[in-house]
Amino acid sequence: MPAYVVGHKVPDSDSICSAIALSYLKTTIGEPTVPARLGELSPETLFILDKFGFEQPELKLSYAGEEVYIVDHSDKIQGPDDLDEATVLGIIDHHKLGDITTSTPLECWIRPVGCTNTIIKMMYDFHGVEIPKDIAGAMMCAILSDTVIFKSPTTTTADIKCVEALAEIAGIEDAQALGMEMFKVKSAVEGTPARDLVLRDFKDFNMNGNTVGIGQLEVIDLSMLDAMKADLEADIAKLKAEGERHTVILLLTDIMKEGSELLVASDDASIVEKAYETSLTDNKVWLDGVLSRKKQVVPPLQDAFA
Amino acid sequence: MPAYVVGHKVPDSDSICSAIALSYLKTTIGEPTVPARLGELSPETLFILDKFGFEQPELKLSYAGEEVYIVDHSDKIQGPDDLDEATVLGIIDHHKLGDITTSTPLECWIRPVGCTNTIIKMMYDFHGVEIPKDIAGAMMCAILSDTVIFKSPTTTTADIKCVEALAEIAGIEDAQALGMEMFKVKSAVEGTPARDLVLRDFKDFNMNGNTVGIGQLEVIDLSMLDAMKADLEADIAKLKAEGERHTVILLLTDIMKEGSELLVASDDASIVEKAYETSLTDNKVWLDGVLSRKKQVVPPLQDAFA
């Protein structure tokens, strides 16, 4: 029986591309492994799979009795619901260390870099396995997505060098231009229901016992969202109630202006104001320079809840 | 301010040698880092430090406000008591994944190999840093200790190759002979109080809400312990009561016969019997082939408690 590689719920391009890249690597070194996903794919991820000729990984929600590699998260709440009944063989991630535990030794490659695929490139190098052209292209796009084409403060030298190396393998001359093309696909929000947009890149966190959901929409021009903002605000309030969440935040990120507007629905918005040392007006605030949920949004909020 | 590297409570040779080896590596690549320890050193570890000319790392119990690398464990109960108030920069370990969590991204090198120092050798290789002769010797001894000179089922090809490489760097011709010399030092138990022997290599585990302490004494001939066995049994019963533990187990490991006698003090010894599919006689049982706490003793017990 093969092992699985699976990323987080509401999969993003990094979760999907790292599942594809890691399963190829593991299979090549003699551990049959297949990629899987915990949900529907975003237009950006579908664009990447189409561009490099990949099928969607298998939709698989239950892992009881299976062996599994976890990518792009280490928080239980973001992973498969029955992960406790699976054997976790390894975790490859670039976030804070979450609450997944195991009863047997495992392999963890966790680094403070901009993207899981940057770490998977290190794994290919460690094992001396050549990266196929199409996989290199998908890995490269995932890094450009996660680092917002190197604008995000999560970007490290390792990510930039990795994109250079992968672009060469994939035969792509202008990686950043492909990145912009990808973000244009991501920005096409017209005609999409508010709920789909809110959930497009949404993660729940356990903050001192409270469930806090944080979504992010990255667009190349925030004014594209003006007509939908009221709908988005109404929807995060609904999502908060449905999931018994303490707080739901939606980041509307303008990747060209390099900042985010926060839409907030919370049982106690003063925690959010304290976290970011700001004041909300109509449950909204623009935070200049904030591009990264992981580095700029989650840690201060976690501290404010502690 | 330098960062610290610290291993687990009741430090063993792996915790100490990996703290020394990692702090040298980190300092060399531009991150000033010093080794520390959470407790007194065993005769085996003192033998290694003396042989290769190292001072004991600083005894440091509190890490609030400090930056710290954690080595050779990832369970909160085994680490510094105030770790939640420190910034964990990284974890290098070879055990099951424990319950340490962080609020910021970090570096984790966790591998299912026999010894943390085998992973630290990979880190030196990754960064292209030459291992000094004395550090290579200490790392090599730690691997020989943790793998019981390659007899433990935790031993991997990576550990064996690593010892070969380190022996060459350290200029040691017969690594296994040095390993035997080290285990003879470890076996010299005469005149040592029972409590010191019980705590020499002792770890607490949180098993489904119960505190379970497991100690291990490795000797080259179990009959050396015959005269002390009654004292050891009495002492683990006391230790159980003092720490409000559900169970205390002491493994008396005969590295030549390749097995362990378990001494058990428990609120419910049937859990222990179930875990190892055996029956205790006078709270004792010989388990043939059992050399590794991590691989052969902890996982079945954890499952039995679950």
What ipTM did this prediction achieve? Answer: 0.88
Domains of chain B: 3-184 (3.90.1640.10), 194-305 (3.10.310.20)
What letter would DSSP give residue B203? E
How many whole angstroms separate alpha carbon A4 and alpha carbon B295?
A: 23
CB A246, CB A212: distance < 8 Å: yes
pLDDT value at B189 more than 90:
no
pLDDT in the model for residue A189: 86
pLDDT value at A5 more than 90:
yes
End-to-end CA distance of chain A, in Å? Answer: 43
pLDDT value at A103 more than 90:
no
Which of B95, B100, B302 faces A105 most closely, judged by CB atoms? Answer: B95
User: How, if at all, do strands B247-254 and B259-266 pair?
Assistant: antiparallel
Which residues in chain B have Cβ-Cβ distances shorter than 8 Å to A111?
Answer: 105, 107-108
Closest CA–CA distance from residue B40 to any residue of chain A (Å): 27
pLDDT value at A8 more than 90:
yes
Query: What mean pLDDT is predicted for residues A214-228?
Result: 93
Closest CA–CA distance from residue B200 to any residue of chain A (Å): 23
Give the B-side interface with A, CB within 8 Å: 88, 91, 94-112, 122, 126, 154, 294-295, 298-299, 302-303, 306
**What are the beta bridge partners of residue A250?**
A215, A263
Which of A88, A97, A298 faces B100 most closely, judged by CB atoms? Answer: A97
Best residue of A14, A75, A88, A101 to probe chain B, by most B CBs closer than 10 Å:
A101
User: What's the pTM value of the predicted model, to 2 decimals?
Assistant: 0.90
What is the tens place of the pLDDT at every residue in B72-121?
A: 999 999 999 999 999 999 999 999 999 999 988 999 999 999 999 999 99
Sign of the CA dihedral running B131, B46, B108, A63: positive
What is the tens place of the pLDDT at every residue in A164-189?
A: 999 999 999 999 999 999 999 988 88
Query: What mean pLDDT is predicted for residues A69-89?
Result: 97
Neighbours of B160 (CB within 10 A): 16
Which residues in chain B have Cβ-Cβ distances shorter than 8 Å to A98?
Answer: 101
Contact between chains at B107 and A110 (C-beta distance less than 8 A): yes
Give the A-side interface with B, CB within 8 Å: 88, 91, 94-112, 122, 126, 154, 294-295, 298-299, 302-303, 306
